[in-house]
Copies of this chain bind each other. A is one copy, B any other.
Amino acid sequence: MSRVVKLAVIPGDGIGPEVVAEAEKVLGAVTAGGGTRFEATHFSLGAARYLETGDTLTDADLAAIAEHDAILLGAVGGVPGDPRLAGANIERGLLLKLRFELDHYVNLRPSKLHPGSKSPLAEPGDIDFVVVREGTEGPYVGNGGAIRTGTPAEVANEVSVNTAFGVERVVRYAFELAQARRRALTLVHKTNVLVHAGSIWKRLVEEVGAEYPDVAVDYLHVDAATIFLVSDPSRFDVIVTDNLFGDILTDLAGAVTGGIGLAASGNINPEGAFPSMFEPVHGSAPDIAGQQKADPSAAIISVALMLEHLGMTDEAARVTRAVEEDVAARDGSPRTTSEIGDAIAARVQA
């Protein structure tokens, strides 16, 4: 019985293509034995495509991508300050558009301090938590506007939209995840200031939580959560939070664990109505692009998250283990992007 997974690959900009090449290499290695075969279609999207054609993500692109079983994305975003990109917003027009249109309401971001990986914290402890970041609401909806733009009388607003529909489903996902892990869930928000948005999150964590009596629930204001992420990160198991707080906390979480070079993420549509998308948390880093300096580990761990999502638990574990072994063996001597990919691919096949 041979299964075919149709994979949409969006290498993107900057270091995106380099790290994705290694991720595909490792994917090839872990599936070399047969069983499931990945059929990859590459989509040329990002700042480079925009500069060539003026398109960010056309309806045809979106429809074609949606036909796939999963998406692997490198990174998108041109050189900061590039005047030719001044009129474009690749992040909103491409990355966020994919997340919103494909209803990726769970943005899953695990943080783990692997043996051998370096934390900037003096006493990091055992770090192993997952941030479940809401992916389709909050301040990310783009419901903002400005009047008298460019004048001294300008007023610019942004609206954070939070629905019971949207909050309930991601909170439920987080409880399920916590139940399968160490049974501790922390809601992070700013309920004392963002009263209305905060209330709906609190209410739904309470209501859904009543169905998961074995999960211990905790609450932290976002400001306090940043303190604990550096002073006591091992206290966390599953964190559930809104789109913007999740963005901030997961970069910080990446920094306190092995660095952003190891932070992977899944943009998940749990029902499978749309393909889920897997990507490193890091950006396109145009300053080091094309120099084989980027660490492809986060892209490779994203492949593990994808395999897990596709039910290929063994393959996922092999990739994760290979990365962990590679990290543990690092001695600081420099390797190129593809040398790291080769090493991990070799470990996968060993």
B155 touching A162, Cβ below 8 Å: yes
Give the residues in chain B near A149, CB-CB below 8 Å.
Answer: 199
Q: Per-position contact with B for A116-127: 1 when CB-CB < 8 Å, else 0?
A: 000111110000
Q: A interface, how many residues as a size bin?
A: 35 or more
B123, B144, B168, B255: the one within 8 Å of A227 (CB): B255
Within A174-189, which residues are at the interface with B (CB < 8 Å)?
none
Could you say which of B123, B153, B168, B193 contacts A120, with CB atoms under 8 Å apart? B123
Q: Are A195 and B144 in contact (CB under 8 A)?
A: yes
Residues 212-231 of A contacting B (Cβ, < 8 Å): 219, 222-224, 226-227, 230-231
Q: Counting CB contacts under 8 A, is A289 at the interface?
A: no
- Closest residue of chain B to A250, judged by CB? B223
Known: A123-B120, A163-B154. A223 touches B248 (CB 8 A): yes
The minimal Cβ–Cβ distance linking A115 to chain B, given in whole angstroms, is 17
Determine whether the beta carbon of A200 is less than 8 Å from that of B154: yes
Q: How far is the CA of A150 from the CA of B92 in the complex (A)?
A: 31
B residues less than 8 Å from A1 (CB atoms): none
A145 at the interface (CB under 8 A from B): yes
Taking CB atoms and an 8 Å cut-off, the chain A residues in 226-248 that contact chain B are: 226-227, 230-231, 244, 247-248
* A148 CB, min distance to chain B CBs, angstroms: 8
Alpha-carbon distance A211/B224, docked complex (angstroms) = 37
Contact partner of A255 (CB less than 8 A), chosen from B119, B200, B231, is B231
A91 at the interface (CB under 8 A from B): yes
> Closest CB-CB distance, A183 to chain B, in whole Å?
21
Nearest chain B CB to A76's CB is how many angstroms away?
10
Q: How far is the CB of A212 from chain B (nearest CB, A)?
A: 18
Contact among B156, B161, B252 with A200 in the assembled complex (CB-CB below 8 Å): B156
Chain B residues with CB under 8 A of A196: 144-146, 156-158
A73 at the interface (CB under 8 A from B): no
Contact status B251-A248, CB under 8 Å? no
Q: Is A194 an interface residue (CB 8 A)?
A: yes
CB of A89 closer than 8 Å to a CB of B: yes
CB-CB nearest 10 A-B residue pairs: A223-B251, A144-B196, A226-B252, A154-B164, A156-B200, A91-B192, A156-B196, A227-B255, A158-B160, A158-B197
Shortest beta-carbon distance, A166 to chain B, in Å? 9
**22 interchain pairs, CB-CB under 8 A:** A77-B192, A80-B219, A89-B192, A120-B230, A122-B122, A139-B158, A144-B196, A149-B199, A152-B164, A155-B161, A155-B162, A157-B160, A157-B196, A158-B194, A158-B195, A190-B244, A223-B250, A226-B226, A226-B252, A227-B252, A227-B260, A230-B230
